[in-house]
Structure 1
Amino acid sequence: MLKIENLKVSYGGIKALKGIHMEVEENKIVALIGANGAGKSTTLRSIVGLVKPEVGIITYHGEDLAKVQTKDLVRRGITLVPEGRRVFPNLTVLENLKIGAFYRNDDENIKDDLEWVYTLFPRLKERTWQLAGTLSGGEQQMLAVGRALMSRPKLLMMDEPSLGLAPLIVKEIFNIIEEINRQGVTILLIEQNANVSLKIAHKAYVMETGDITLEGTGSELLRNEEVKKAYLGESVSVQK
């Protein structure tokens, strides 16, 4: 579905990406994990066209994304849930969700998708007319995901969805991510929280200082001694 080949990006004299290769298969959850500053966000910014690579190619269903404007990605079925949630604080929950369907004109299907989002996130339905800025951090993350789903994405990219959330809310969010995937949406998950992301990932990559240093299934990387020491702590259980 999405393929990255020999991607190199520099900021001035700093090499942010050093020729990475990775692939996101359709209907899978793929996690890209690594410490802050490893190059995860640069990878994501390259995919959506906010950073121009020096070398390399990014294709989506065989189409070169360098030839697609960022604003047109949603029409291709690619949607991003940004780091920090970025909801519109002075708009209601419903208004935020409707913005996710901005490019659509199939009103009946939009109504159905709104009910789908409310089924995934019952708390949003309870707060339909509440201003988004008054929601808790976890509720804002739910709203950001719901807003992205209103565009009917085929590929949903999520940048640090666990950031700043309490452990119980993180567990709830990741359970919903799994459910979204079961309903046919491919997920690319950019995360520092290796423990939760590897537990749900079909495929995962570890990034360090601009390089992909390890790859494998989520369960394989959970058992990997290097990953356990660097990201999980040696005593972390790998049971789901």
Structure 2
Amino acid sequence: MLRVKDLNIRYGGIHAVKGISFDVPQGEIITMVGANGAGKSSTLRAICGLVKPDRGSVITFMDRDLTSLDTAEIVRQGITMVPEGRRVFPDLTVRENLILGAYFRKDDKEVEKDIEWVYELFPRLRERKEQLAGTLSGGEQQMLAVGRALMSRPKLLMMDEPSLGLAPLLVKEIFEIIKDIHRQGVTILLIEQNARMALQIAHYGYVLETGSIVLEGTGEELAGSEMVKKAYLGE
């Protein structure tokens, strides 16, 4: 579904991502784990056109080259990202944020059905649908960010640190929602510092360190790796 080959990203003199290659097969949950500064977020930003990679980098989705497309066109192709830090529109209501997620869609009746679907996934958003997003708790804003991304009906949902800053009970809830979204047919690329939770739900994973992939394998294989246990699982 998504294929990234020899991806290089530079910010001035900083070589942030160093020739990484990976695949995201349709219907799977793929995770990337690693510390801050490993290049995880830069990779997602390059996939959705927010950062231009070096020449020679190849990013294809459903066999179409993405490197020449702008972000709006990439969204139309079926890729949506839940950004780190949630980035909801604070002065708009919950419902208005969800409607903005469907900005490119013209099927108003289906949009309303999808809003109801999001409310079923996140009942708290239904309770707060007329509340300004900036007044929601951190966990509720994360739910809204995920719901807004789903409103574009993505084929591939990319999530950048969805558990960051959340209380443990909410972290567990967010990961249950990720599994529920996947069961409904959405392919997921998950970026996480919470390696334990990410590897529990991932079909396959990659470990990034300073811009390079240093280890890859199934979620179970990585969770059992001595290197991963010491570096990311606190064992």
**Which one-letter code corresponds to 2:114 in the other structure?**
D
Q: CA RMSD in A?
A: 0.8
CA drift at 1:68? 1.3
Distance 1:96 1:108 in 2: 17
CA drift at 1:160? 0.7
User: Structure 2: where are the runs of 5+ without partners?
Assistant: none
- 1:162 aligned to 2:166? no
Match of 2:78 in 1: 77
Distance 2:113 2:10 in 1: 44
1:37-59 superposed Cα distances (whole Å, 9 cap, x missing partner):
01111111111122222232010
1:15-63 superposed Cα distances (whole Å, 9 cap, x missing partner):
1111101110111111011000011111111111222222320100111
- 1:104 aligned to 2:126? no
TM-score, normalised to structure 2's length? 0.97
Match of 1:228 in 2: 229
Distance 2:109 2:217 in 1: 41
- 1:29 aligned to 2:25? no
Distance 1:48 1:106 in 2: 24
Match of 2:179 in 1: 178
Identical residues among aligned pairs (%): 68
Q: How many residues align?
A: 234
TM-score, normalised to structure 1's length? 0.95
Deviating more after overlay: 16-25 vs 43-52: 43-52
**Superposition map of 1:36-75 within 5 A:** 36-54=36-54, 55-75=56-76
Match of 1:10 in 2: 10
Match of 2:131 in 1: 130
- 2:49–2:74: 8 Å Cα contact kept in structure 1? no
Distance 1:62 1:40 in 2: 23
Distance 1:59 1:48 in 2: 11
